[in-house]
Structure 1
Amino acid sequence: MNINNAGARPPGAPKTRDKMDGSAIRCHVLLLALLLASCAAPDTRHQIVVSTREQKLALIDRRNVLAIYPVSTSKFGLGDWRGSRFTPLGKLQVAQKIGDNAPPGTVFKDRRRTGEIVAPDSPGRDPIVTRILWLRGLEAQNANAFTRDIYIHGTPEERLIGTAASYGCIRMRSSDIIQLYDIVGTGVAVTIVNAPLAAAVPSLVSAHSMADTNPAPFVMR
């Protein structure tokens, strides 16, 4: 035996890899990016306030009112009992955003796109469309909101916006929910009150003092 060749690779033996190949490195980088994305900081810059009494939603950037949208909350009333069709009150947050880049009118069933697109006010049609902001309750009075699938979402029944017509969710016109969806991030605070917006949003007295970087037109319908 030649001691100078001790430990040498025998002829025909497969080569060992001292370093990961490029595909493995790319895989690890992708997994790291996905992990970082899932740990993104919650949106603490914005706030959403919904008035069931006025059927309006205010979008706030810090203390500036960016927009006020007409909405539609439950026609059955207010509350959060399991199996009910009520709109919950109190402090919640956006737990998930669903529908990135979906065309207006895209139909969702169980939060998945069906491939169908429904035009506004299509006769006999009332699916969830366009975008979904899935809400999670933060208080005992709205603890069931997430499992009850309470959303802020688009509706084809745009003629009913401004009236209490939903089955518990907060409905918006497709153009409005797209705008709202594009501005807010997950974790954004949502407060639902059975009171006028002005009672819950003090800055409404100076509502036309908009944020300098306002990404949305001031909407009041």
Structure 2
Amino acid sequence: MSRSVLLAGGLVSLLVLGTTVAEAQTISLPLPPDAKTVIDKPTATASAAELAAVAHELRKRYPGPHDDHVIVVDIRQQRLYLLHDGRLQASYPVSTSQWGIGNREGSNRTPVGVFRIAQKFGQGAAPGSIFKSRRDTGQIARIITNPENRSERDLVTSRVMWLTGLQPGFNEGGDVDTHSRYIYIHGTPEEGRIGMPSSHGCVRMKNDEVIALFNRVPVGTLVYIAPGDRPLTDIPNRL
């Protein structure tokens, strides 16, 4: 992404015609032929005990003023879990990168490891609002519910939670800096593809669900994106 035009994983935001409602043009697109992902088939959701163990370990390793909240994103399951004081509060389907996992700048892959929510944007914005450079444009995206159809552009909608890495040399600093890669948890018009890898690096959510999550977590919340090729409690520091 550039700093002047918002990119959710590397593509330019939709140039919208009109003044009030933006309709994303839809086309049928297969996954790129070189797409790689750890996902093979759906697996059982994580147990409450496993998630509690992960939250406990994260809070011990990365103490902070808001470590009572922990978000766990499981790449293999394409699912986000919200915990408070080690107890599961909510679970949502998500969409991570169609190119799999990777922490390097320019990869268009979803980074893994431990992060915090550095900033939040969109309080009070209408569901489906299109954001450009993290600012509400006042335009509303048309939601695409057919998974065979794709938005022509990679729009960011409803809410934005900007992540920063906590593991120097792995997802923080240099060419692996998550914040500089503009990696967000955000809404998307491609709701029909939630639950399958479809993004350009960010963690996408349905619009009503990203609003619900946004309202429940403060800036500083720990976020763990698990690669899915190992137990959740095996927190990676290299790929």
TM-score normalized with structure 1 length: 0.69
Which deviates more, 118-127 or 138-147? Answer: 118-127
Q: Is 1:95 the equivalent of 2:118?
A: yes
The total of aligned residue pairs comes to: 161
> Percent same amino acid at aligned positions?
42
Q: Is 1:142 the equivalent of 2:165?
A: no
Give the letter aligned to residue 130 of structure 1. S
Aligned counterparts of 2:211 and 2:164: Cα–Cα separation in 1: 20
Aligned counterparts of 1:91 and 1:97: Cα–Cα separation in 2: 18
Aligned 1:108-123 pairs, distance under 5 A: 108-121=131-144
Q: Is 1:172 the equivalent of 2:201?
A: no
CA 1:163 to 1:97, structure 2 compared with 1: closer, same or farther past 3 Å? same
Match of 2:68 in 1: 45
Which deviates more, 46-55 or 139-148? Answer: 139-148
Aligned 1:174-213 pairs, distance under 5 A: 174-195=207-228, 199-200=232-233
Which deviates more, 76-85 or 161-170? Answer: 76-85
Give the letter aligned to residue 76 of structure 1. W
- 1:49 touches 1:197 (CA, 8 Å); kept in 2? no
Q: For structure 1, list consecutive stretches of 5 or more residues without a partner in the other structure.
A: 1-40, 202-221
Match of 1:13 in 2: none
Q: Is 1:69 the equivalent of 2:92?
A: yes
CA 1:196 to 1:57, structure 2 compared with 1: closer, same or farther past 3 Å? farther
Match of 1:130 in 2: 158
Deviation at 1:195, TM superposition (A): 2.3
CA 1:42 to 1:102, structure 2 compared with 1: closer, same or farther past 3 Å? farther
**Structure 2 residue matching 1:147: 3-state secondary structure:** coil
Deviation at 1:110, TM superposition (A): 1.0
Aligned counterparts of 1:61 and 1:94: Cα–Cα separation in 2: 15
Deviation at 1:197, TM superposition (A): 10
**Structure 2 residue matching 1:142: 3-state secondary structure:** coil
Aligned counterparts of 1:147 and 1:81: Cα–Cα separation in 2: 10
Give the letter aligned to residue 113 of structure 1. D
Match of 2:30 in 1: none
Deviation at 1:194, TM superposition (A): 1.6
**Structure 1 residue matching 2:72: 3-state secondary structure:** strand
Deviation at 1:141, TM superposition (A): 1.4
TM-score normalized with structure 2 length: 0.64
- 1:88 touches 1:141 (CA, 8 Å); kept in 2? no
Q: Is 1:152 the equivalent of 2:180?
A: no
- 2:78 touches 2:93 (CA, 8 Å); kept in 1? yes
Give the letter aligned to residue 129 of structure 2. T
Aligned counterparts of 1:167 and 1:110: Cα–Cα separation in 2: 16
Q: Is 1:81 the equivalent of 2:81?
A: no
Give the letter aligned to residue 227 of structure 2. N
Q: Deviations over 1:37-83 (max 9, x none)?
A: xxxx8422210000111100000011110011000000112111122
Q: For structure 2, list consecutive stretches of 5 or more residues without a partner in the other structure.
A: 1-63, 146-150, 235-239
CA 1:42 to 1:153, structure 2 compared with 1: closer, same or farther past 3 Å? farther
CA 1:96 to 1:42, structure 2 compared with 1: closer, same or farther past 3 Å? farther
Aligned 1:15-30 pairs, distance under 5 A: none
CA 1:60 to 1:51, structure 2 compared with 1: closer, same or farther past 3 Å? same
Q: Deviations over 1:66-107 (max 9, x none)?
A: 011000000112111122201111000000000001000000
